A and B are shown apart, each in its own frame.
Chain A
Amino acid sequence: MKKEITLKLNGYETTVAVEPHEKLLDVLRDKLGVKSPKYGCGRGECGACSVLLNGKSVRTCIMYAVEADGQEIVTVEGLEKDGLTPLQESFLAHNSFQCGFCAPGIIISATELLTSNPHPGEEEIREAIAGNLCRCTGYGSVVDAIVDVTRSE
């Protein structure tokens, strides 16, 4: 019992047939070839699968694809369409990430934060990315890069 859904994905209208039980994460990765959201836990705990849904970050591993019908989705591939964002530039300059697996999710959460609050304090930044687990960095290099962006803008 497939259902056709239409998304505005990274700026383009996209139509895809999905089963009602399919998760948005699997549809993005396996059917639409968008690989930046990652599988880390399948329970909405680690944040690696985050995307922006109508500008708000959501966990695509616990969201059904059919729930996204008619809505706008932006992933890292969409954010960088016109070149690196200042946030990405800052992450690059700070060598913020190590294995890099959590990076797409953290870019999404930090982008969401800076869109609504361009000048957050360090504690607000830590709060905003607290749902994105990173096992490598200890978070200092990630937080520093976000703080730097808020200062330069």
Chain B
Amino acid sequence: MTELDLKLVGHNAVRLDGLEKITATAKYADDIDLGPGMLYAAILGSPYAHATIKSINTSDAEQVPGVHAVLSGQDCPGTCGLYLKDSQLFARDRVRYVGQQVAAVVASSQGIADKAISLVKVEYEPLPVLQDPLEALKPDAVLIHPDLGDYEVVPWLYPQPGTNIAHLRKIRKGDVEKAFEEADYILEDWYHIPHVVHAPIETHVSAALYTFDGRLTMWNSTQSPHTQRNILANVLNLKHKDVRIITPYVGGGFGGKAGVNMEVIAAACAMKVPGHPVKIRYSRKDEFQNTSQRQELKAYVKMGVKNDGTIVALKHQLFWDVGASAEYGSNVVNATGFSATGPYRIPNVWIDSYAIYTNRPPCGAYRGFGYSEFHFGIESHIDRIAKALNMDPVEFRKKNAIQEGDTVAYGVEMGPTGILKCIDEVAKAIEWGKESKSDDVNRVRGKGFALVWKAPAMPANESSAAFIKFNEDASINILVSGMELGQGFMTAMGKIAAEELGLPLEKVRVELPDTDRNPYEWQTVASHVTWSCGNAVRRAAIDARNQIINVVSIAHHIEEADLYLEDGTVKCHAKPDFALPLEEFVINGIQMSDGTFRGGPVLGRGSFMPEFTSAKVDPETGMGGHPNVHYTTGAGAVEIEIDKETGRVRVLRMAEAFDAGKAINPDLVKGQIEGGFVQGLGTALWEEVIFDEEGRIRNPNFTDYKIPTSLDAPREMHSIIVEVPQLDGPFGARGVGEHTMIPVMPAVANAIENALGIRIKSPPMTAEKIVQALKEETGKSL
């Protein structure tokens, strides 16, 4: 199929979930009615960030009329975790962050549950609280997980028992020290990126029903139905076939609904009250405190260059605060460890990426998977070095940008990339080099640029699967377990199948996951489902097409090679008049002259797993494996205006370009770019979780933690798609969902520097910080 032949892929269309969503028909987990037998849960959170639990007394709570069950750590053995099993369902021996679940009550009303939970008595003995990853690294620091050596862990993570280090990923490429000696200019500095939250508008919701036949059914707002099934079956000692995860639409994920979170508590509660569904809907405060946050990062960057602008060496040490659990966040640390060069060709690289436990809430996947955080330091550094060398920062980037065939930090060749085209397109859209002035003398303008790369962070054997069911009228239902999070997954899968099967999009439905019915998908994370599940769907469509062509070939005595599908019919190259509508036979078969039938229901099957990846690397150097499937690259820029009196920053214009390989849904890719940009803008200018000295969150609501509104978004947004095909992607596609927020923080920091000459090394770059920095500058010059 050539580019010109594509009828759906690469063309805009109304999204498949559009009508459900604009009519408010779309069901989210909290919209599922579970009947009058439903019970309510209340959860007791720890008031301490770090303490041992001396005793838990639930007897008063159990006496309250209407209470069906009280649960605490004693009732729930086992540990949970995606990569490192360091997480307990309820805290057993100690609590490690404020809000950590200690007990739960299940009762006939929320009021009764709330009253009973207040009667659970817990005796704590406070321990020292660690909130700074660098403090937690000190040899005399209190151990947050004294049993770290006993936890189950995947073989490619390296916890260090007797310390607070949950994982350390090292890269040693070339000879960094020698390269620094030979460099003409070296810049070293620290950058600090605080915790932020995902803030999906829908909070976490989980409903669970355990029945007397031994089955557990759940309705969860999640990105990971099969991963949840796997973890829950293991920790609750159930068979996988008896755990059913149904996932209605998700009201925003951004990584926060990846893996398992509070669902395990809903499941544990339900198993105590067979026959009664139990629903837990998190409050907004719970969502801040008890789901997962983005890691805090303290990064040391040392970069050496030649006078001609060639980067020769990078030492990058990343000290990640992963909070009280590294069950998922350890892989953020791992993935960024491999990629913390940014999209640059650097011959000598030293990277240490530390996952460090603290007494803050557990951290995990967040759109960008750590790349937003480390790009802030790298891209700030790149601008500062360009300035020191008296080079244009865009030219400096172009000179060093990684190209196909270059060697990445872990020794593997870089794949196809349109990064140079992305740079040129963004520079053009933002009018790089053209000075822009405000009419208001109190306001100054500036432009800032940043590059991006990101690979999906996945186990080497992640996989996707798909079924395509034909119906009597030749419409199809596609069964997959990738999750429509809003990114356009359904529309992409529908187009890929319809393109291969010669069907109009109106004949296609893509079903939301139900682990009883839909085939396996690892998780909808890592911006990988368009690529991975798209490959599975394409294979399923080709499988169905082969079945169709085979039966028509047999029944009509036509060579298979002469048959093809178009406009819902089977056609023949050799006989232009031949056109057999699919609805005549895709269920009921084709009747032969003797009255018998050939064929039967057409059911396509496809699965996909990359077979070239390996996590087996030398722990001391990071070399020897192939941890990533590919990188998506791109560029972003902003033009900002700053009010010098108030310090307020407004983004007047933004431009971002990404190499999507092939945009299956071009308009929805642009939606990802705009949405990712504005989410990134929140983290650049306003968003920061603020903790008090005891480790309590001081701003767990949208009044005190501001996310961008319609008034904050730039009025001029240039969303640019570049297409250098990914040869193993469906129609050449690779993912772009997460990448779109990565350039924003550094581009804004670089624009502030461009406008005012001040360098801010820690977002959010609030008005207050800018005014403060201006005062310090003025103080210096006086």
Contacts and interface: CB of A to CB of B under 8 A. Distances in A.
B26 A127 contact: no
Interface in B671-691: 671, 674-679
A143 to B, nearest CB: 7
Contacts of B707: 133, 135
Given A133-B702, A137-B675, A138-B674, A93 B713 contact: no
Interface stretch (B247-255, B354-362, B577-585): B247-255
B24 interface: yes
A39 B203 CA distance: 8
* Interface residues on chain B, size class: 35 or more
A138 B24 contact: no
B284 A33 contact: no
Given A43-B284, A134-B201, A138-B717, A95 B668 contact: yes
B22 A88 contact: yes
A31 B202 CA distance: 20
Contacts of B203: 39-40
Interface in A70-98: 75-77, 80, 84, 88, 91-93, 95-98
Interface in B150-202: 198-202
Given A46-B201, A46-B702, A138 B675 contact: yes
A84 B201 contact: no
Interface stretch (A1-9, A52-60, A100-108): A100-108
B562 to A, nearest CB: 39
Most buried by B among A96, A98, A135, A139: A135
Contact of B486 (A46, A76, A97, A133): A97
A107 B675 contact: no
B706 to A, nearest CB: 10
B624 interface: no
Most buried by A among B17, B22, B31: B22
Contact of A100 (B20, B284, B709): B20
A141 B675 CA distance: 10
B30 interface: yes
A148 interface: no
Nearest to B18: A92
A134 B30 CA distance: 18
Given A80-B23, A92-B18, A98-B486, A138 B283 contact: no
A75 B25 CA distance: 12
B671 A95 contact: yes
Contact of B284 (A42, A127, A138, A142): A42
B28 interface: yes
Contacts of B22: 84, 88, 91-92, 96-97, 100, 103, 107
* Interface residues on chain A, size class: 35 or more
A119 interface: no
Contacts of A92: 14, 18-19, 22
Contacts of B284: 40-43, 45
B620 interface: no
B201 A102 contact: yes
Interface in B696-740: 701-703, 707-711, 713, 715, 717
A99 B486 contact: yes
A99 B33 contact: no
Nearest to A126: B710
Contact of B701 (A41, A122, A139): A41
A65 interface: no
A150 to B, nearest CB: 16
Contact of A101 (B252, B667, B671, B717): B252
Given A136-B486, A137-B675, A103 B702 contact: no
Most buried by B among A43, A122, A134, A143: A134
Contact of A43 (B27, B202, B703): B703
Nearest to B367: A135
B249 A126 contact: no
Nearest to A33: B33
B73 to A, nearest CB: 28
Contacts of A97: 18, 21-22, 486
Interface in A13-60: 29, 33, 35-36, 38-43, 45-46, 48
A93 B486 contact: no
A100 B675 contact: no
A138 B654 CA distance: 12
Contacts of A129: 710
Contacts of A96: 22
B713 A140 contact: yes
Interface in B112-134: none
Interface in B745-774: none
A122 to B, nearest CB: 8
A98 B487 contact: yes
A42 B674 contact: no
Given A38-B201, A40-B203, A99-B251, A93 B21 contact: no
A142 B678 CA distance: 14
Interface string B234-260: 000000000000000111111000000
Contact of A36 (B19, B24, B710): B24
B200 A135 contact: yes
B485 interface: yes
B15 interface: yes
A136 B23 CA distance: 18
A143 B674 CA distance: 13
Nearest to A36: B24
A84 B23 contact: yes
Interface in B642-685: 667-668, 671, 674-679
Contacts of B200: 99, 101, 135
Nearest to A140: B674
A100 to B, nearest CB: 3
A80 B22 CA distance: 10
Contacts of A75: 24
Nearest to A135: B252
A101 B29 CA distance: 11
A40 B21 contact: no
A45 B487 contact: no
A104 B283 CA distance: 20
A81 B175 CA distance: 71
A48 B283 CA distance: 14
B427 to A, nearest CB: 22
A103 B24 contact: yes
Contacts of A126: 710-711
Contacts of A43: 284, 701-703
B486 A39 contact: no
Contacts of A88: 22-23
Most buried by A among B20, B23, B283, B702: B23
B251 A138 contact: no
Most buried by B among A41, A92, A132: A41
Interface of A: 29, 33, 35-36, 38-43, 45-46, 48, 75-77, 80, 84, 88, 91-93, 95-104, 107, 122, 125-127, 129-143
18 contacts: A35-B24, A42-B284, A45-B701, A46-B201, A77-B24, A98-B486, A98-B487, A99-B200, A99-B249, A100-B486, A126-B711, A127-B710, A135-B200, A138-B676, A138-B677, A138-B678, A141-B674, A143-B710
Closest 5 CB pairs of A and B: A98-B486, A101-B251, A100-B21, A99-B486, A138-B678
Given A129-B710, A136-B486, 14 more contacts: A29-B30, A41-B284, A46-B702, A48-B202, A92-B14, A93-B14, A97-B486, A98-B485, A99-B202, A135-B707, A136-B675, A138-B677, A138-B679, A139-B710
